[in-house]
Amino acid sequence: MVARLRFAPSPTGPVHVGNVHTAVFCWALSRALKGDFIIRIEDTDTERNTAEATRLLFDALTWIGLDWDEGPDVGGEFGPYVQSQRRPLHQRVIEQLADEGHAYYGDDPAHPASPAGNPLRLKMPQTGETILHDAIRGEIRFDNGRLQDPVIVRSSGEPLYHLAAMTDDHDMGITHVVRGEDFISTAPIHLQLYRAMGWAEPVWIHLPLILNRQGQKLKKRDPEGGYLMSDFQAAGYLPAALFNYLLLLGWMPDNGQEVVDKWEVRQQFRLERLSASPSTFDWDKLNWMNRQYLQRHSNEKLAELLRPFLEEVYDELPMQNEWLVRLTAVIRDGLNKLEDAVAAAEWAFADNFAISPGAQEALHGESAHPVLTRLVAELAHVVLLDEATAQSILQGLRNSFKESEGWKPTAVFHPIRAAITGQTGGPPLAEIMAILGKNRTLQRIANALRL
């Protein structure tokens, strides 16, 4: 039998990373089992779902690199893949449940009301236990005495999740239901429904919650960072890195090797390696993971990825590609995510940068004026300020001031760095000077000398 797994989101708003986490696990298990991955849009909450939210969902799934075998966009033999279009199928189940006495209209099972204007309730057993066999948690037992008869169809005739999703799962031949831990509490309803209909149960997999570092459930907005997919995109996390990181929230690769590509996931992913304990969303770990993926890119490719982030903030320069590639080479080691380039490359763009207190101090030291005026004089002879030329000028200044004044390298280099970047630390000076070019370097020194 071919394994069939579905991701069944409700498109009610912006896409949260928790949703995508579920999708990634569904995808991975379907691929590991060499089965089908299906997208079903659960749009029965007509008041809350929007076409825009559906579009965002598909964008997010595509962005993170998932592919699916059946869904509203690609079709398939178990369609339609939009829940609201499956109403006739739900209706058949509703009628069967009511006709066979597994469910009743109104509030009183002893005196069922008429279907018109009354909710349909599922009859739950009064005694004994309902047992959920969860593939990663084992047996979870529910005491039947505590279970109320739940509404499964609203008085308006609209089926609720319990009825619609279970019917669809059954009709679509779903073999493994992968969903969030928050569905465990209502699982007895689902099990009872399967039993009442005489359907074979799927394998149940309730994924553990993801918590923030304070141990709370992830909200859309959180002091630690935004958890919407649009937040991760805006910060410049790479899709392959986020995909990889999300998998580590609940799954452990075989040999402890945490950086795994999609192909390795297909090979290695196994239900037995899933964990039932909640995982913590760790931004430092995500940043680390993102660096692993950033580092794989050539300067050219990385420059291409950085360009939109830089262009959004710094529009005053024409960003010539070759120049941007050189800038990328200088700043890349300091980046966790693409958006970090905005701060890391500030010196290359803004001529009226702020001057840090350390840099102020360097510019007011006794070496500043002699060093900067000598540098201006040296640069005057230069035609093209490339890195090698800048390097040899800097070495010359250093040796000469050491000999004549006994100054340490910092007495020479700090004022220069302060003058051209406003900072006392950063990438190698010669690289900075080459990226700025002769005119901008001279301009910045002239500004500093006027301070």
| Residue 77 C-beta: closest distance to ligand GLU, Å | 21
Cα–Cα distance measured from residue 90 to residue 166, given in angstroms and rounded to the nearest whole number: 9
Nearest distance, CB of residue 6 and ligand GLU, angstroms: 7
Phi first, then psi, for residue 413 (nearest 5°) are -80, -35
Q: How far is the CB of 165 from ligand GLU (least distance, A)?
A: 5
Among 8, 53, 136, 302, binds ligand GLU (CB under 6 A): 8
Q: Which is nearer to ligand GLU, 83 or 328 (CB)?
A: 83
Establish if 10 lies at the interface with ligand GLU (CB under 6 A): yes
184/181 Cα distance (integer angstroms): 6
Handedness of CA 445, 320, 348, 292 (dihedral sign): negative
What is the C-alpha to C-alpha distance for residues 293 and 232, in angstroms, rounded to an integer? 15
Using CB under 6 A as the binding rule, whether residue 367 contacts ligand GLU is answered as: no
- Residue with smaller CB distance to ligand GLU, 20 or 235: 20
Kindly tell me which of 204 and 237 has the beta carbon lying closer to ligand GLU: 204
The region of 2-10, 71-79, 369-377, 404-412 touching ligand GLU under the rule CB under 6 A is 2-10
If one asks whether residue 188 binds ligand GLU (CB under 6 A), the answer comes out as no
Catalytic residue among 217, 220, 301, 408: 220
Each residue 41-70 as x (binds ligand GLU by CB under 6 A) or -, in order, gives -x----------------------------
- Spatial CA neighbour of 444 closest among 423, 411, 406, 416: 416
Contact range with ligand GLU by CB under 6 A, out of 6-14, 231-239, 309-317, 376-384? 6-14
SS3 423: coil
| Known active-site residue 220 | yes
> Cis peptide before 202, with omega less than 30 degrees from 0?
no
* By CB under 6 A, residue 30 contacts ligand GLU: no
Listed in sequence order, the residues at least 6 apart from 16 whose beta carbon sits closer than 8 Å to its beta carbon are 218, 220, 227, 228, 229
CA distance 13 to 21: 16
- Select 39 or 419, whichever has its Cβ closest to ligand GLU: 39
Nearer to ligand GLU by Cβ, of 165 and 274: the residue is 165
The residue within the footprint of ligand GLU, chosen from 3, 4, 9, 241 (CB under 6 A), is 9
**Minimum separation from the CB atom of position 100 to ligand GLU (A):** 24
Q: Which is nearer to ligand GLU, 10 or 389 (CB)?
A: 10
Total residues in contact with ligand GLU, by rule CB under 6 A: 6
Helix (H) or strand (E) holding 130: strand 129-134
350 with 402: CB under 8 angstroms?
Answer: no
Q: How far apart are CA 316 and CA 304, in angstroms?
A: 18
Residue 166 interacting with ligand GLU (CB under 6 A): no
Answer yes or no whether residue 331 interacts with ligand GLU by CB under 6 A. Answer: no
Contact 69, 76 (CB under 8 A): yes
What are the Cα distances from residue 353, in Å, to 22, 111, 372, 438?
A: 45, 79, 18, 18
Nearest alpha carbon to residue 276 among 125, 137, 131, 449: 137
Say whether 265 sits in a helix, a strand or coil.
Answer: helix
Q: Is 165 in the site for ligand GLU (CB under 6 A)?
A: yes
Among 90, 121, 179, 332, binds ligand GLU (CB under 6 A): 179
The answer to whether 152 contacts ligand GLU (rule: CB under 6 A) is no
In the complex, which residues of this chain contact ligand GLU (CB under 6 A)? 8-10, 42, 165, 179
* Residues involved in catalysis: 220
